[in-house]
Copies of this chain bind each other. A is one copy, B any other.
């Protein structure tokens, strides 16, 4: 890879360069077996070891307690929007959701097909710029679970606290910030994440679920949508996305090698601080309107003071190797996603580019 190229895409996103190099090196011949990982039986000894190591490395990283199952599934967070209510109602009719942006709204819409959705709190009265504090939430005692979107990829909004719900299970869509910092898994009932931001290639979905929440899907549920089936069969009810799991396993090893989640959290904090400072110190040329305590460390949307400059900004950025900075079509403006794989040098270079651009066009 040309190291003057930095990819700020929101997902599928940049992968660690060292991981891609290893994937490339062993693509035709994995560990002298003469075949590619893509060509291995998912039930063969070599591949079973790859999966077992991936799970163990993930358990080490997140310090996942023994009473939690790790599932490697397909269908993305979007399929989880359905699987969560299908599996977790446990006789309840009501499920509670905290509305913080586009992705929580998608989760709410899908849950409405299976449950009576109670919006426990919303930020729509505050232009989606803040995560409502728990003191504002209204959660019915008979709700099946409370669902949050730990990080809103589009809005650039991240939870700065883990809610305390007594006995009610907490569910989080952690797609865009999982593995970016330590996480106390024991405070969640279920965590899910599409792989294509901080885990690995698209086509893999990670679910971490407390054992007692598994096994409650109603009779007649499609087999593939029942967590119990996947838990019982070690994510091998049918052929899993073998190559994506293998790459994810290498990412987990890369993170462990780096020093684990404490270490990556430090790096991510520095990256985010650097980029937000670049925005805030631009004299209004760039703006990010998110409440400071909820600014996402992963997805940094910003606007230029004059939208007529957007095209010139994107064109100059692209020419200089800063890729995929265009904001989501729903919000416009710019967005820099700075997941784990984005090196600090990439963020520093971007901020320097932004400063130059502002000087030239300000």
Chain A residues proximal to chain B, CB less than 8 Å? 1-2, 4-5, 7, 9-15, 17, 20-21, 23-24, 27-29, 33-36, 38-42, 44, 74-79, 81-83, 86, 110, 113-114, 194, 196, 201-204, 220-225, 237-244, 247, 321, 323-324
List, in ascending order, chain B residues with CB within 8 A of A224's CB: 75-76, 78-79, 82
Given A12-B39, A39-B15, A110-B222, check contact A242 B201 (CB 8 Å): yes
Chain B: CB-nearest residue to A110: B223
Q: Report whether A41 and B240 are in contact in the complex, using a CB–CB cutoff of 8 Å.
A: no
Chain B: CB-nearest residue to A38: B201
List, in ascending order, chain B residues with CB within 8 A of A10's CB: 41
Q: List 22 A-B contacts (CB under 8 A).
A: A1-B34, A1-B35, A5-B34, A12-B239, A15-B36, A20-B36, A38-B201, A38-B247, A44-B324, A74-B75, A74-B241, A75-B75, A76-B239, A82-B224, A82-B225, A83-B222, A113-B220, A201-B241, A202-B239, A202-B242, A241-B244, A243-B243
Q: Is the interface of A mostly helix, strand, loop or mixed?
A: loop
List, in ascending order, chain B residues with CB within 8 A of A39's CB: 7, 9, 12-15
Question: Please, how many angstroms separate the alpha-carbon atoms of A224 and B224 in the complex?
Answer: 12
Contacts A12-B242, A14-B35 aside, 7 further interface pairs with beta carbons under 8 A come to A9-B40, A23-B27, A38-B247, A79-B224, A82-B224, A203-B244, A222-B225
Q: What is the minimal beta-carbon distance from A65 to any residue of chain B, in angstroms?
A: 29
Q: Report whether B1 and A238 are in contact in the complex, using a CB–CB cutoff of 8 Å.
A: no
List, in ascending order, chain B residues with CB within 8 A of A79's CB: 74, 222, 224, 238
List, in ascending order, chain B residues with CB within 8 A of A204's CB: 203
Chain B: CB-nearest residue to A79: B224
Question: Please, how many angstroms separate the alpha-carbon atoms of A341 and B23 in the complex?
Answer: 21
Question: Please, how many angstroms separate the alpha-carbon atoms of A164 and B247 in the complex?
Answer: 45
List, in ascending order, chain B residues with CB within 8 A of A33's CB: 5
Question: Please, how many angstroms separate the alpha-carbon atoms of A221 and B361 in the complex?
Answer: 51
Q: What is the minimal beta-carbon distance from A251 to any residue of chain B, in angstroms?
A: 11
Q: Report whether A203 and B74 are in contact in the complex, using a CB–CB cutoff of 8 Å.
A: yes
Q: Report whether A240 and B23 are in contact in the complex, using a CB–CB cutoff of 8 Å.
A: no
Question: Please, how many angstroms separate the alpha-carbon atoms of A86 and B79 in the complex?
Answer: 16
Q: What is the minimal beta-carbon distance from A245 to any residue of chain B, in angstroms?
A: 9
Q: What is the minimal beta-carbon distance from A108 to any residue of chain B, in angstroms?
A: 13
Q: Report whether B240 and A35 are in contact in the complex, using a CB–CB cutoff of 8 Å.
A: no
Checking B41, B194, B201 against A12 with a beta-carbon cut-off of 8 angstroms, the contacting residue is: B41
Question: Please, how many angstroms separate the alpha-carbon atoms of A29 and B3 in the complex?
Answer: 11
Q: Report whether B15 and A77 are in contact in the complex, using a CB–CB cutoff of 8 Å.
A: no
Q: What is the minimal beta-carbon distance from A219 to any residue of chain B, in angstroms?
A: 8
Which residue of A7, A204, A224 has the most chain B CB atoms within 10 A of its CB atom? A224
Question: Please, how many angstroms separate the alpha-carbon atoms of A13 and B39 in the complex?
Answer: 5
